[in-house]
Amino acid sequence: ATAQPVLELDGLTSGYNGAAVLRDISLSVRPGEVVALLGANGAGKTSTLMTISGIVKPMRGRVLFNSADLKGTSPDARARLGVAHVPEGRGVFFGLTVAEHFRLASRGETLDAAAAYRYFPALEQLSGRRAGLLSGGEQQMLALGRALARRPKLLMIDELSLGLAPIIVERLLPVVRDYAKDSGCGVLLVEQHVELALTVADRGFVLSHGEITTHGDVAALKANPELVLSSYLGEQ
Ligand code: ATP
């Protein structure tokens, strides 16, 4: 736990059209660590990931990747540095087969399809099938597999559980954790399903109305009634 963080947010304030939706966010993710970013609908979880990806520009504060300030670094350049983002809704291409997703590399990029198939063996069986014909859980496997095929150093996953049965989520999350531990990739896991997220996370941060209200290691969070409140009541 003493390794340099792969990601650090330092006093980050961010938003849209000059209006802040995130205020003074500080958090870190170390190599091999799974960090849960929790909070109700509209708390600012997706905006945090979009700011790390470089799609939304911070108003104040810094995003540090392996200690380097990413200010001025484009989303594409961040991706090339090793920042992977599995968006809410998965971002797979319905008309392409599973195998085609692993051939669809941008310039200079080589995708490690074997790694994706190793962590998600079901994908190999489905390699000839179009993504649009996959179940929700299979599509999520494909999105995760596609992200880890890029051998990221930081993997951000937005609402993996969206639209999936809990039993499917319970199968996918441990794979994400195993991948983090095996590869040393840091994972920032955005989830509304607090209990499921805390089964695989090492630490967690709770966002409420754009601010971090609680953070700590998972054992401490599980014992924290404030977490339960802020996560289940929703943003008013
Ligand atoms: P959800 O789980 O619903 O995505 P969230 O915690 O990820 O919730 P965000 O999507 O980051 O929250 O939204 C935080 C706030 O920012 C909300 O008040 C939302 O209305 C606002 N917001 C999000 N995207 C935009 C945008 N493109 N333009 C303006 N406001 C936005």
pLDDT of residue 231: 56
Cβ contacts of residue 210 below 8 Å, gap of 6+?
20, 21, 22, 23, 25, 43, 44, 47
Cα–Cα distance measured from residue 79 to residue 152, given in angstroms and rounded to the nearest whole number: 8
**Residue 16, both tokens:** 């849209």
The verdict on the CB of residue 67 being under 6 Å from ligand 1 is no
Centre of ligand 1 from the C-alpha of residue 37, in Å: 14
C-beta 43 within 6 A of ligand 1 = yes
Residue 47 CA: which ligand 1 atom is closest? 11
pLDDT of residue 236: 38
C-beta of 145 in contact with ligand 1 (< 6 A): no
Tell me which residue has its CA closest to atom 18 in ligand 1.
42
Please tell me the predicted confidence (pLDDT) of residue 224. 80
- Determine the pLDDT at residue 187: 98
DSSP string, 91-141: ---TTSBHHHHHH-PPTT----HHHHHHH-HHHHHTTTSBGGGS-HHHHHH
Report ipTM (2 d.p.). 0.93
Task: Tell which one of 22, 38, 45 to mutate to probe ligand 1, the residue whose CB is within 8 A of the most ligand atoms.
Answer: 45
Q: Residue with the nearest Cα to atom 26 of ligand 1?
A: 16
Mean pLDDT by 10 residues, the chain (236 residues): 88 96 97 95 94 97 97 95 92 94 84 95 96 96 96 96 92 97 97 89 94 92 72 49
Classify the phi-psi angles of 7: left when phi > 0, otherwise alpha if psi is within -120 to 50, otherwise beta. beta
Ligand 1 close to Cβ of residue 41 (< 6 A): yes
61 lines ligand 1 (CB under 6 A): no
Tell me, what's the pLDDT at 89?
83
- Rounded Cα–Cα distance for residues 49 and 221 (Å): 22
pLDDT for the residue 235: 46
The predicted pLDDT at position 232 comes to: 55
